Amino acid sequence: MTIRYDYHLHSDFSGDCEIPSEFMIERALTLGLQGLCFTEHHDQDLPEQELVFTLDFDAYVRKMSRLKSQYADRIRICSGIEFGIMKHLPPVLQTLLEKYSFDFVIASLHFVDGKDPYYPEYFIERSERECYEEFLKTEYETLKCFPPQSYDTLGHMDFIVRYGPNQNREYSYEAYADYIDPILRLLIENGKCLEVNTGGFKYGLGEPNPCAGVLRRYRELGGELLTIGSDAHDPKHLCFDFDRVQALLLDLGFRYYAIFQQRKSEMLPLNG
């Protein structure tokens, strides 16, 4: 495996994960990684629900600073966040960025009109197409509200297809081009990265999120900046199918992927 950094993973600081950060780090050491970046959930202003997705920033920052020095001679540990974007939240993210110093910020759309596509109810009484279109349109309109300097990459762009009744069987770049192109153009114009999230392989889609067709189109439009992450919530999923994603990206003509430290990017070769 030549991709030696995983830039999307969670620990027990995230509402849907119970694994202590140390377990993720130990697994990363076993895999021979050079670095990993925790990207803990912060989704605020959600409707009433069981899981809490707001991050305890002070505790997180304290623990990350301890782990960074504790493991400094063995592996590079970075602390990032996966910020759940909503149209009214750019000022909140701005305030967080002024108060805390993160290495990396993933902007992810998790909720549409307060509804979570993770749950089957989301797809009830509407066509799958309608749901996918609404998701992609909302993703574009919401991301557009965020100043480019407030985030580094767009997380799992088309991950809604993991949860639809037909998953990705009727989904392709071509079928949704009108909704996908504006997102890709926005990222390219602003010099932002597109995340390649291998969770899609884990969900049995046979592709990452976004799918190969979207990645091909991104490349065609001039997009070059990628970040790569497994979205692991469990140590066993760290770097999930990274070999497979590497082969796919090389095949599509990508040569580099980006990692971040203190919000500064560094490009690493995909075939190095």
Hey, how many other C-beta atoms are within 10 angstroms of the C-beta on 1?
Answer: 10
Among 147, 165, 168, smallest CA distance to 157 is for 168
For residue 197, the minimal CB distance to Zn ion (Å) is: 8
Residue nearest to Zn ion (CB): 108
Closer by beta carbon to Zn ion, 4 or else 41? 41
Name every residue whose Cβ is closer than 8 Å to that of residue 69 and which is 6 or more positions away in sequence: none
Q: Is 26 exposed, middle or buried (0-12, 13-18, 19+ CB in 10 A)?
A: middle
Closer by beta carbon to Zn ion, 108 or else 138? 108
Closer by beta carbon to Zn ion, 128 or else 231? 231
Separation in Å, CA 1 to CA 53, 61, 90, 159, 242: 32, 30, 37, 25, 7
For residue 268, the minimal CB distance to Zn ion (Å) is: 21
Closer by beta carbon to Zn ion, 87 or else 255? 87
For residue 16, the minimal CB distance to Zn ion (Å) is: 9
| Positions in 73-132 near Zn ion (CB under 5 A) | 82, 108
Phi, psi of 221 (to 5 degrees): -80, -5
Residues in the chain: 272
Spatial separation of the C-alpha atoms in residues 131 and 52, rounded to whole Å: 25
Q: Does 231 bind Zn ion (CB under 5 A)?
A: yes
Q: Is 37 exposed, middle or buried (0-12, 13-18, 19+ CB in 10 A)?
A: buried
Spatial separation of the C-alpha atoms in residues 222 and 103, rounded to whole Å: 26
| Positions in 3-32 near Zn ion (CB under 5 A) | none
Closer by beta carbon to Zn ion, 18 or else 189? 18
Closer by beta carbon to Zn ion, 168 or else 198? 198
| Positions in 135-194 near Zn ion (CB under 5 A) | none
For residue 77, the minimal CB distance to Zn ion (Å) is: 17
For residue 14, the minimal CB distance to Zn ion (Å) is: 7
Locate the DSSP E strands across 123-220: 153-154, 193-197
- Span of 48-56, 112-120, 230-238, 253-261 interacting with Zn ion by CB under 5 A: 230-238
Size of the residue set binding Zn ion (CB under 5 A): 3
Closer by beta carbon to Zn ion, 118 or else 177? 118
Rg (CA), the chain: 17
**60, 101 contact by CB (below 8 A):** no
- Span of 30-38, 114-122, 225-233, 262-270 interacting with Zn ion by CB under 5 A: 225-233
For residue 53, the minimal CB distance to Zn ion (Å) is: 10
For residue 220, the minimal CB distance to Zn ion (Å) is: 26
For residue 222, the minimal CB distance to Zn ion (Å) is: 26
Closer by beta carbon to Zn ion, 84 or else 223? 84
Positions in the binding site for Zn ion (CB under 5 A): 82, 108, 231
